A and B are shown apart, each in its own frame.
Chain A
Amino acid sequence: MSAFQYKVEPRRARMDKLMRGLCWGAVCLAILPLLSLLYMVISKGWHRLDLDFFIHLPRPVGIAGGGLANAVVGSIELVGLASLFGMPIGIAAGIYLAEFNSTRFAKSVRFSADVLSGVPSIVTGIFAYQLVVAPLHGFSALAGGFALGLMMIPLIARITEEVVRLVPIGLREAALALGIPRWKTIVPVVVRTAASGIATGLLLAATRAASETAPLLFTAFNNQFWPSSPMQPTASLTVQIFTYAISPYDEWQDMAWTGALVLLLMVLAASLASRLTMSRNRPMQL
């Protein structure tokens, strides 16, 4: 946007500069801890980032060449299961909240979603334990996916709602004027317009799920060996990082940092891929 060449009162000009400066200051403020964190994770995790890490199972202290390959696969499996479970329900719930939002039911749903997103992850884990693990008498990837999915649903629903609601009414009215039934309006027209916003919500929820430790402790448990079936305990990067990080051994701590680095890289790669493949649909300017 080109600058307009006209005189503005000095007070307003100063305010303009001040507020813009503050906003940029905010960006710097956020970048500082981010850089510090990244530096810590990279500098500590870099030297164990080798082929061994990606193809070998964990090894005890004193035996070289161990890796967290099973944890990498396990994390992908768990987030995959969680998304399978959480995405459809979350998006559908979000659409409901946006389209039918004045009913009392919608109000209670919205309220519950906000409350649920504040539940500590360990409570979600214990809940999933009672529902899935205890009756089946065993820890499983399924239970872990269920717990993570539970955490994803409220987040996806609320963000989907906020974004779908922002689609201009004119768009919906135009579709209805063409005689399209309401549901055909919502799904292809409205949702597709809000797709990028929904994708942001999904990404946010998925990365949060991938980064969780506590809910997996009592559901997917963890496993030193390869994941053999969704009904067995499954390794995950976060739990293994946690276990290793608080252990007394240097080589395990090194692996913990490498695991953190790998987790970070995986999530960044997913986020980058989503940005490249998803076309940026902006709502129509009216």
Chain B
Amino acid sequence: MTNLMRKTGLAAALLMGFAAQASALSLNGAGSTFIYPLASKWFYSYQEATGVEINYQSIGSGAGIQQLTAQTVDFGASDAPMTADQMEKAGGGTIHIPATMGAVAVVYNVDGIDTGLKLNGDVLAQIFLGTITNWNDKAIAELNSDLSLPDAKITVVHRADGSGTTFIFTDYLTKVSTAWAGQVGQGTAVKWPAGVGGKGNEAVAGVVRGVKGSIGYVEFAYAAQNKMTVAKMKNRDGKFITPSIDAVTAAAAGALRRMPADFRVSFTNAAGEDSYPICGFTWILVRPRFEDHAKGEAFVKFLNWAMDDGQKMAPSLNYAPLPASLVEKIKAKIATIQY
């Protein structure tokens, strides 16, 4: 076995080493798991159209930023904007290109309530803080006078691994609950006051589906794909909104007025009647200047493609396309990338 395996491995390595792949231009990127399904569609289609191989791996937003800083990848992708500290470490001026938007859905499993649970930010925060522990609590009943809530313990499920989804979720809770802001705060990984942790959306969904009385949060794309029971969240304007692509686009449009020039903003709890309150951008991160001219040129072409054709591919995968007015501004930013 050992000889056989060794020889096979060597042969494979040599074969690959001399494979005629040298002609195709190839770039590497790393970061957010959230954007991975859409990104893989983009890069596949782009390779078919132009022959340029862009290899993107979802190792996590934080890791994407780390690798961009270490210059082992050509671009990164993150669900959370870089902090001033991180920008400095990366050499200053990392350009944030909003690539797409997504929502975080609150999923639950309560006996007898198949649809239509309504929650607001404060109650949600209290549940995740562990101060509301039973489904028939007054605060929940107030919001759901048309439903009969059972007397059941609430099992909170959160993400075990650090993730952009957690960042968006905790960012929202920090904005709507002073108790949460004081005790926990926001981040890709936080100290959860209550509940059990699952690794990845799959685990959270699995526990929520399996344990009666549980509540958790997952990427909206995931909830939609798996037809999970989602809660309606009360937005800033007072309406209860079910997460959907349109609701996310509405939220982005609502935040447009106060969008900073570098696009580093979170738009959770955005204004607007139809806005869903728990959503955010995923940004593609690039250095302001590409060392390699050919690579830089190819990637800028790709970014412009992503703003037009790329956005059209988003809805079928449950991502929200960027509003047209924002795309104009982003294209102007893309034009500033030097190579």
Direct contact of A and B (CB under 8 A): yes
Interface residues of A (CB under 8 A from B): 58-63, 73, 76-77, 79-81, 83-84, 87, 133-134, 137-139, 141, 199, 202-203, 206, 217-218, 221-230, 232-233, 243, 245-250, 252, 270-271, 273-274, 277-278
Task: Looking at the assembled complex, report how far the CB atom of B24 sits from the nearest CB atom of chain A, in whole angstroms.
Answer: 8
Q: Is the interface of B mostly helix, strand, loop or mixed?
A: helix
Which of B1, B9, B37 lies in contact with A274, CB distance below 8 A? Answer: B1
**Distance in Å from the Cβ of A187 to the closest Cβ of chain B?**
16
Q: A59–B41 Cα gap in the complex (Å)?
A: 7
B114 CB to closest chain A CB, in angstroms? 21
Complex Cα distance, B5 from A273, in Å, reads 10
Q: A62 touches which one: B30, B199, B316 (CB < 8 A)?
A: B316
Does B9 lie within 8 Å of A225, measured CB to CB?
A: no
Are B37 and A247 in contact (CB-based, < 8 A)?
yes
In the complex, which residues 19-51 of chain B have their Cβ closer than 8 Å to any Cβ of chain A?
A: 19, 21-22, 24, 26, 28, 30, 33, 36-37, 40-41, 43-45, 47
B5 close to A79 (CB less than 8 A)? yes
* Chain B nearest Cβ from A18, distance in angstroms: 38
Say how far A113's CB is from chain B's closest CB, in angstroms: 19
With the chains together, A277 CA to B60 CA distance in Å?
Answer: 44
Q: Give every chain B residue within 8 A of A245 (Cβ-Cβ).
A: 202
In the complex, are the beta carbons of A226 and B12 less than 8 A apart? no
How many whole Å from A28's CB to the nearest CB in chain B? 28
Q: How far is the CA of A224 from the CA of B231 in the complex (A)?
A: 36
Alpha-carbon separation in the docked complex, A61 to B36 (Å): 11
User: Given A243-B36, A247-B36 in contact, is the A83-B1 Cβ separation under 8 Å?
Assistant: no
A137 contacts B71, CB within 8 Å? yes
A-B contact pairs, 23 of them (CB 8 A): A58-B40, A62-B41, A62-B317, A77-B13, A77-B16, A80-B5, A80-B6, A80-B12, A134-B70, A138-B28, A139-B28, A139-B72, A202-B2, A206-B1, A206-B2, A221-B57, A224-B53, A225-B55, A245-B202, A246-B33, A246-B202, A246-B203, A249-B37
CA separation between A247 and B36, bound complex, in Å?
A: 9
- Chain A residue nearest to B16 in the complex (CB): A227
Known: A224-B55, A274-B1; 20 extra A-B contacts, CB below 8 A, are A58-B40, A76-B8, A77-B12, A77-B13, A80-B6, A81-B9, A83-B2, A83-B5, A199-B2, A202-B1, A218-B63, A224-B56, A225-B26, A227-B19, A233-B28, A246-B202, A247-B36, A248-B202, A273-B4, A274-B4
Identify which of A76, A81, A226, A274 contacts B2 (C-beta below 8 A).
A274
Q: Are B37 and A61 in contact (CB under 8 A)?
A: yes
How far apart are the CA atoms of A116 and B317 in the complex, in Å?
A: 44
Indicate the member of B12, B201, B222, B317 with the most A CB atoms within 10 Å: B12
Is the CB–CB distance between B12 and A76 below 8 Å? yes
State whether A60 touches B44 (Cβ < 8 A). Answer: yes
Interface size class of B (residues with CB under 8 A): 35 or more
Closest Cβ neighbor of A70 among chain B residues? B16
Beyond A83-B6, A221-B57, A271-B1, is A138–B72 a contact (Cβ under 8 Å)? yes
Interface on B for A, CB 8 Å cutoff? 1-2, 4-6, 8-10, 12-13, 16-17, 19, 21-22, 24, 26, 28, 30, 33, 36-37, 40-41, 43-45, 47, 53, 55-59, 63, 70-73, 199-203, 219, 221-222, 225-226, 316-317
Inter-chain contacts of A84 with B (CB < 8 A): 6, 9-10
Which residues of A are found within 8 Å of B72, using beta-carbon distances? 133-134, 137-139
Name the A residues within 8 Å of B10 (CB-CB).
80, 84
A59 to B9, CA, bound (A): 26
Q: Quick check: A229 and B30 within 8 Å, CB to CB?
A: no
Q: How many Å from the CB of B301 to the closest CB on chain A?
A: 19
Given contacts A77-B16, A81-B9, A248-B226, contact A278 B1 (CB under 8 A): yes
Contact residues in A for B9 (Cβ distance below 8 Å): 76-77, 79-81, 83-84
Docked pose: A252 CA to B40 CA in angstroms: 12
Contact B30 A228 (CB under 8 A): no
Which chain B positions have C-beta within 8 A of A252? 37
Cα–Cα, bound, A217→B58 (Å)? 10
Contact call A60/B37, Cβ cutoff below 8 A: yes
**Among candidates B1, B70, B73, B202, residue contacting A277 with C-beta atoms closer than 8 Å:** B1
On chain A, the residues within 8 Å of B71 by CB distance are 137
Give chain B residues whose Cβ lies under 8 Å from the Cβ of A222: 55, 57
Q: Which of A63, A134, A141, A249 has the most CB of B within 10 A?
A: A249
B201 and A246 form a contact (CB under 8 A): yes
